Amino acid sequence: VWKWTSSSWCEDQDFFRFSGIYRDVYLYAVPKAHIWDIRTEALLNDDFTEGNLCVELKTEGCGNVKATLYAGEIRNADKIILPGVGAFGDAMEKIRGYGLEEVIKEVIDKGTPFLGICFGLHLLFEESEESPGVEGLGVFGGKVVKIPDCGLKIPHMGWNSITLSKDSKILDDNSFVYFVHSYYLNTEDEELVSAYTEYGEKLAIAVERGNVFATQFHPEKSGDAGMNILRKFVALGGKS
């Protein structure tokens, strides 16, 4: 599980800043909530430091928490979490550069519970308007697009309620959760979408199919409602 980023730590934002561009990508291997958090510097300096999500899961007693860059540890994890904040193209370049694209697809295909958070949701789809011409992981069909200008502030930063569009194993209807995003999912596969929110218009903000879950909002920043989502995910059955 990894987190790529650079430069100085932003205490108020809980991620690193690189020349004013946020480009965190994490992949958390979770054997009973085993999570590791690795930055780009970590690849060179063996500097393994924990991110906010990692700390929250430990605090909740979700089990051992470990961050790892190694494919073998990711393959053996009981759960995987892919959160992040960043640029779509940069993230996919890193994923492919470290040979992790096939590892991600492999653990998904064999039934390991997988949770994408915020940017982690975007990466599961085919492409994004943020980085034209760059292919995403393509786990699901669809495109990530810019939130339309409806007179509201973009990026969308703040609390919104969510409305479930189908039964969910980890989400609760009408939960109040925290968002930070300028892009959202546009897919014709309506059965994939598990929840929407209203921000100028109706936005798809969560997906769920089989062992794969993803949310546009940040559970780790969403108080009790968010921690309940993470608890439910960690409590899911293991590999099928």
Catalytic residue among 127, 130, 208, 220: 220
218 is catalytic: yes
Q: ∠ CA 136-190-130 to the nearest 5 degrees?
A: 30
156 is catalytic: no
Overall residue count recorded for the chain in this entry: 240
Catalytic residue among 62, 118, 122, 156: 118
What is the distance, to the nearest Å, from the Cα of residue 200 to the centroid of all Cα atoms in its chain? Answer: 23
**What letter does residue 221 receive in the DSSP assignment?**
G
54 is catalytic: no
Distance CA 218, CA 215 (A): 7
Distance CA 7, CA 99 (A): 24
Radius of gyration of the chain (CA): 16
Catalytic residue among 34, 122, 181, 218: 218
Backbone angles phi, psi at 9, to 5 degrees: -80, 135
What is the distance, to the nearest Å, from the Cα of residue 49 to the centroid of all Cα atoms in its chain? Answer: 18
Residues marked active site are found at: 118, 218, 220
